[in-house]
């Protein structure tokens, strides 16, 4: 599968890549509308939203690997199993509907039925998402009444309401839109995500929604999502906790008018490049918005024997609480990085590891180098910290993203329910 990794600023156009970042949202692709509002699950913030497609959209999803999966995941899996299409994606925030037994499952089905009725679609074309407090039943009278009102909030201009309705402890909405050409037709792909805590690289650890008007075969879309997930959403960590509810859903309306995309399509790499870039940027936004975070940490591992080795080492380092704490304190303690490499459970040669922070080499062949401590500390006071590790074993590489560990993280999670 050919795909290019794009590292461009969100507001710029990079001529090396076959897409353009534009001012848009999940409603920019043809056929999509969205919206959200406060229905009463939370005290006052938006808590109910939906994406609607004017036609049944080819769809695929990936789910958290936590064995305690929320009731909405079961319902969404059943919906997609019918014909691989969705027309409505419904989400509530505030209550996760997880560990709620048979009643929770019944409530998720009731949400699907109500959404199907008010949007005028078949039940299996509705996907359900919930996020928030675990072990608490949804106030179903409030939720069902809210679903009845949702169509009046769903529009081409309703993406901001949707983006705010999916948030929990997030401090900002995460969204991105790109345009590109397939078969001479303009195609748009957009994403919206939430995620701030309970983020760990073990699929999916977030809620992500991707919309596109590309025409694409279902199996190709499913493969694309799984591949992109391993490169992006599976490479972020905030706190080492894998959530119970989270998923990434992609919907393709097919209204752009291109020939159906598949892995052998001559412009498949164009679609994959755009899909990868949007997902990568959403992942970085989630990592940057980690609960209490002040810094984005990017760890790139090069010279690995296998892709899995590179990924494992990168995630081990970016997930280390000691590394995260040192970054917060602008402490250039590279020994913590080395220790995290060592316990990654990979066949590292302990005599040939190189470490660089920013553009400052700290370690060569596993031995310390002289460096300017003041210069390093000044770099570590920045908002984006890059760590490059070279294992000097092979040619594979991978990048993982995370954030620093702060006093504020403890404060937020010590009072999550109160």
The enclosing domain of 409 has a CATH number of: 3.10.20.340
Q: Do 349 and 365 form a contact (C-beta atoms < 8 A)?
A: no
| Residue 364 maps to a domain | yes
**Residue 389 bridge partners (DSSP):** 301, 355
Claim to verify: residue 308 and residue 260 sit in the same structural domain: no
Q: Any bridge partners for residue 300, and if so which?
A: 388, 399
Q: What confidence category does residue 203 fall into, taking pLDDT thresholds of 50, 70 and 90?
A: very low
Residues 410 and 317 sit within 8 Å (Cβ to Cβ)? no
Residue 114 lies in a domain: yes
Within a domain: 203:
yes
Alpha carbons 191 and 174: distance in angstroms, whole number = 8
- On whether both 179 and 255 belong to a single domain, the answer is yes
Percent of the chain whose pLDDT exceeds 90: 67
Other beta carbons less than 10 A from residue 113's beta carbon: 14
- Given a contact cutoff of 8 angstroms between Cβ atoms, the answer to whether 71 and 108 are in contact is yes
> Tell me, what's the pLDDT at 147?
98
Residue 12 lies in a domain: no
Q: Kindly indicate the confidence band of residue 238, based on its pLDDT and cuts at 50, 70 and 90.
A: low
Token pair 């305690």 is at which residue?
A: 68
Same domain, 277 and 367: no
Beta carbons of 98 and 68 less than 8 angstroms apart: yes
Query: How many structural domains compose the chain?
Result: 2
| Phi, psi for 387 (deg, rounded to 5) | -120, 125
Q: What is the pLDDT of residue 243?
A: 56
| Other Cβ atoms within 10 Å of 188 Cβ, number | 23
Residue 15 lies in a domain: no
**418 is annotated as an active-site residue:** no
Q: pLDDT of 45-72, one tens digit each? A: 999 999 999 999 999 999 876 666 788 9
The pLDDT tens digits for 310-340 are: 999 999 999 888 998 899 888 888 999 999 9
Rounded Cα–Cα distance for residues 20 and 97 (Å)? 38
Supply φ then ψ for residue 155, to 5 degrees: -160, 180
Say whether pLDDT at 202 is over 50: no
The pTM score is: 0.81
Q: What is the CA radius of gyration of the chain?
A: 22
Residue 118 structure tokens? 């008010």
The stretch 98-109 carries a mean pLDDT of 92
The CATH number of the domain where 210 resides is what?
A: 3.60.70.12
Contacts of residue 1, defined as CB under 8 A and 6 or more positions apart, other chains included, come to 223, 227, 263, 268, 272
Same domain, 135 and 209: yes
Which of 286, 318, 346 is the last residue in one of the domains?
286
Cα→Cα distances 75→196, 221, 225, 249, Å? 25, 20, 20, 13
* Listed range (163-172, 233-242, 321-330) with the worst mean pLDDT: 233-242
Residues 338 and 306 in one domain: yes
Confidence (pLDDT) at 413: 58
Q: Does 209 lie in the same domain as 123?
A: yes
State the first-to-last Cα distance of the chain, in angstroms, to the nearest integer: 48
How far apart are the C-alpha atoms of 139 and 136, rounded to whole Å? 9
| Whether the Cβ atoms of residue 235 and residue 9 lie closer than 8 Å to each other | no
CA-CA distance, 284 to 116, in Å (whole number)?
A: 34
Predicted pLDDT of residue 173: 81
pLDDT digits (tens, 9 = 90+) for 372-408: 999 999 999 998 999 999 999 999 999 998 888 776 6
- Domain match, 372 and 340 both: yes
**Confidence band, pLDDT 50/70/90 cuts, at residue 11:** very low
Round to whole Å and give the CA distance between 293 and 321.
13
Residues 6+ apart with CB under 8 A from 48: 36, 37, 38, 39, 41, 90, 91, 92, 93, 143, 146, 147, 150, 165
**Residue 250 counted as domain residue:** yes
Instruction: Please tell me whether residues 253 and 325 are part of one structural domain.
Output: no
* Helix, strand, coil percentages in the chain from 3-state DSSP, rounded to 5: 35, 25, 40
Least confident of 31-35, 280-284, 348-352, 396-400: 280-284
Residue where a domain stops, chosen among 240, 260, 286: 286
**Active-site residue, selected from the candidate residues 100, 205, 229, 406:** 205
What is the extent of the structural domain holding 157?
A: 20-286
Q: What span, in angstroms and rounded, lies between the C-alpha atoms of 109 and 115?
A: 10
Q: In the predicted model, is pLDDT for residue 172 greater than 80?
A: no
Are residue 366 and residue 257 in the same domain, yes or no? no
pLDDT at 96: 87
Answer yes or no: is 6 within a domain.
no
φ, ψ of residue 98 to 5 degrees: the values are -125, 145
Share of the chain above pLDDT 70, in %: 86
Assess whether 152 and 205 both reside in one domain.
yes
Tell me which of 49-63, 159-173, 205-219, 318-332 is least confident: 159-173
The CA distance from 295 to 332, in Å, is 15
For position 286, what pLDDT does the model report? 83
The chain-wide mean pLDDT, for the chain, equals 87
Residue 344 and residue 249 share a domain: no
pLDDT score at 292? 59
Last residue within a domain, chosen from 238, 259, 286: 286
Which sign does the torsion angle of CA 63, 65, 70, 73 carry? positive
Contact at 8 Å (CB) between 198 and 209?
A: no
The b/e string for 305-338 (b: 16+ C-beta within 10 A; e otherwise) is eeeebbbbbbbbbbbbeebbebbbebebebebbb
Rounded Cα gap, residues 280 and 79, in angstroms = 27
Residue 291 lies in a domain: no
pLDDT-derived band at 134, boundaries 50, 70, 90: confident
Residue 10 is predicted with a pLDDT of 33
């Amino acid at each position: 599968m050919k795909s290019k990794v794009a590292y461009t600023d969100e507001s710029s156009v990079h001529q090396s890549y076959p897409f353009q970042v534009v001012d848009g949202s999940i409603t920019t692709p043809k056929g999509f509308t969205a919206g959200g509002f406060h229905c009463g699950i939370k005290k006052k913030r938006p808590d109910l939203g939906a994406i609607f497609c004017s036609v049944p959209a080819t769809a695929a999803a990936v789910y958290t690997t936590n064995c305690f999966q929320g009731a909405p995941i079961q319902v969404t899996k059943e919906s997609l199993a019918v014909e691989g299409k969705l027309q409505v994606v419904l989400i509530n925030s505030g209550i996760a509907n997880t560990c709620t037994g048979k009643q929770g499952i019944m409530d998720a089905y009731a949400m699907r039925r109500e959404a199907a009725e008010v949007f005028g679609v078949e039940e299996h074309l509705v996907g359900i998402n919930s996020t928030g407090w675990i072990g608490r039943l949804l106030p179903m009278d409030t939720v069902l009444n809210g679903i009845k009102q949702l169509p009046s909030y769903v529009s081409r201009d309703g993406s901001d309401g949707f983006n705010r309705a999916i948030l929990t402890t997030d401090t900002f909405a995460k969204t991105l839109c790109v345009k590109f050409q397939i078969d001479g037709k303009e195609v748009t792909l957009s994403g919206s995500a939430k995620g701030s805590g309970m983020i760990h690289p073990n699929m999916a650890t977030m809620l992500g929604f991707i919309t596109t008007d590309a025409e694409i075969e279902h199996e190709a879309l499913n493969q694309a999502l799984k591949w992109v997930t391993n490169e992006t959403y599976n490479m972020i960590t905030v706190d080492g906790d894998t959530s119970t509810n989270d998923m990434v859903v992609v919907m393709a309306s097919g209204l752009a008018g291109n020939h159906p995309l598949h892995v052998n399509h001559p412009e498949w790499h164009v679609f994959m490049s755009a899909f990868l870039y949007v997902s990568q940027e959403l992942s970085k936004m989630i990592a940057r918005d980690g609960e209490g975070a002040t810094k984005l940490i990017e760890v790139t591992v090069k010279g690995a024997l296998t892709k899995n080795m590179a990924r494992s080492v990168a995630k081990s380092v970016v997930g280390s609480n000691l590394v995260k704490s040192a970054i917060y304190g602008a402490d250039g303690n590279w020994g913590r990085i080395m220790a995290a490499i060592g316990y990654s459970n990979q066949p590292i040669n302990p005599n040939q590891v190189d470490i660089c922070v920013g553009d400052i080499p700290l370690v060569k062949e596993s031995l310390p180098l002289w460096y300017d401590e003041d210069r390093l500390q000044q770099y570590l006071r920045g908002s984006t910290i890059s760590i490059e590790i070279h294992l000097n074993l092979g040619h594979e590489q991978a990048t993982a993203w995370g954030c620093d560990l702060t006093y504020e993280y403890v404060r937020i999670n010590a009072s999550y329910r109160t």
